[in-house]
Structure 1
């Protein structure tokens, strides 16, 4: 048991170290080119950054568990590594040579690789993708219900923000309009862009969460994951999300990632299906971008406190759900084995 504990600690340390080294190295590049490129191109750094957590997890799994991984899954991992390398090359060369085409090329790569990966996963004849929780039909009813709950949460957040900032009717109307197009955009997003959300969710939920939970327990493991995930957003807080108030932005992300991480952790434990958190993450980003509240935000102390309070109100209660009281979750049991 002690040997296993040391192994898990080393895996956590390696994951966090490699993930942050890649992220912050690209963040340094972003810092140096920030003043010389179109601000829209900064969003491309955010897009590619989504790949890094899963890239780190994939590299570590191939290094440590290659003999225990099915060759079809290894093939999928290699495809993902190729996507990451190509995307980073496009980003690094494009900022100086073809900045106006970076987004088009990246979205083309994401679309092509998402469709190819979706085909591989859908034709999962030997069930090898169960190892990483990527079985689309697994616990589908729970996945569907939890996604509906999250949509409800997003609507509640819009209502609370409307009361706080005095734009209740505008917020509700905007949310309803976004929800009208959500089914189509969600299905399309799953097909042509899920690989981006896999990038974050496999890294944070699929790889890091079960390891932290083995060491610290289900509640504390998820809570520890939150600040790590929040700090990972540091380069984006300084150059994309809130260049004028980056420190407040980073503080918000630490709290926000902790709070929403409680819900995402619950979703993953309840379903044992990584698709569930990928879809929730996709819905979250769609609602945020559609509401126009994603980039160039200016935080004040009052806005920071109110936003943290709203997120805490809607997400914190999930830490007291039955799934967090159980001795072991579906995914934690599978990680043990």
Structure 2
């Protein structure tokens, strides 16, 4: 759990460079953070939809898998977007994305070896994870609000 976020930051860099480094500041400029943050999460989720529809995250959901994972991406994107806008740097979001990717398979390691986990409910991308992410979003935005001002463009970081 300590090494995973750093190792997973490498493949997460490309996504975060695009979603939180370029798209989020562009949407924030045109629509403000209240619209930009969830909208960038929707874009992130739709981008994952082809892989998710092939059964990658939720093999039991069929065609609903893309919409379900988009819900996770909105909540996860609010956390990663907060990191991006609060720090004015893409790097905390890169490491945060790496941490999410590193912790997601923990359900397989910590669960019952004889019974496959219900990934719709359990784990970071399941309803339990959604609830924890929603609580984290409320705490972050309530007690450490995003600083006013224009976020730095990714090419200036």
Q: Does the alignment pair 1:261 with 2:77?
A: yes
Of 95, 117, 120, 1:299 maps to 120
**Higher normalized contact order (CA 8 Å, seq sep 6+, divided by chain length):** 2
Deviation, structure 1 residue 317 = 3.8
Partners in 2 of 1:298 and 1:184 — Cα distance? Answer: 24
Q: Could you say what secondary structure the match of 1:243 adopts? A: coil
Given the two structures, how large is their TM-score scaled by the length of structure 2?
0.73
Partners in 1 of 2:143 and 2:152 — Cα distance? Answer: 17
Deviations 1:48-104 (A, max 9, x none): xxxxxxxxxxxxxxxxxxxxxxxxxxxxxxxxxxxxxxxxxxxxxxxxxxxxxxxxx
Aligned ranges for residues 61-100 of structure 1 at < 5 Å? none
Deviations 1:110-137 (A, max 9, x none): xxxxxxxxxxxxxxxxxxxxxxxxxxxx
Deviation, structure 1 residue 195 = 3.5
Kindly indicate which of the two structures has a greater share of residues assigned to helix.
1
1:321–1:222 Cα change, 3 Å: farther
Deviations 1:2-53 (A, max 9, x none): xxxxxxxxxxxxxxxxxxxxxxxxxxxxxxxxxxxxxxxxxxxxxxxxxxxx
1:306–1:225 Cα change, 3 Å: same
* Structure 1 residue aligned with 2:2: 183
Equivalent residues of 2:42, 2:70 under 8 A apart: yes
Equivalent residues of 1:269, 1:323 under 8 A apart: no
Q: Does the alignment pair 1:311 with 2:126?
A: no
Deviations 1:125-177 (A, max 9, x none): xxxxxxxxxxxxxxxxxxxxxxxxxxxxxxxxxxxxxxxxxxxxxxxxxxxxx
Given the two structures, how large is their TM-score scaled by the length of structure 1?
0.37
1:311–1:247 Cα change, 3 Å: farther
Of 183, 201, 215, 2:16 maps to 201
Q: CA RMSD in A?
A: 3.0
Structure having the higher Rg: 1
* Structure 2 residue aligned with 1:217: 32
Q: Does the alignment pair 1:271 with 2:87?
A: yes
Can you give the 5+ residue segments of structure 2 that lack an aligned partner in the other structure? 110-116
Aligned ranges for residues 1-337 of structure 1 at < 5 Å? 182-187=1-6, 189=7, 194-239=9-54, 240-292=56-108, 299=120, 308-324=130-146, 326-331=147-152
Deviations 1:240-279 (A, max 9, x none): 2223213443233222211121111111122222221111
Can you give the 5+ residue segments of structure 1 that lack an aligned partner in the other structure? 1-181
Deviation, structure 1 residue 287 = 1.0
Partners in 1 of 2:29 and 2:151 — Cα distance? Answer: 13
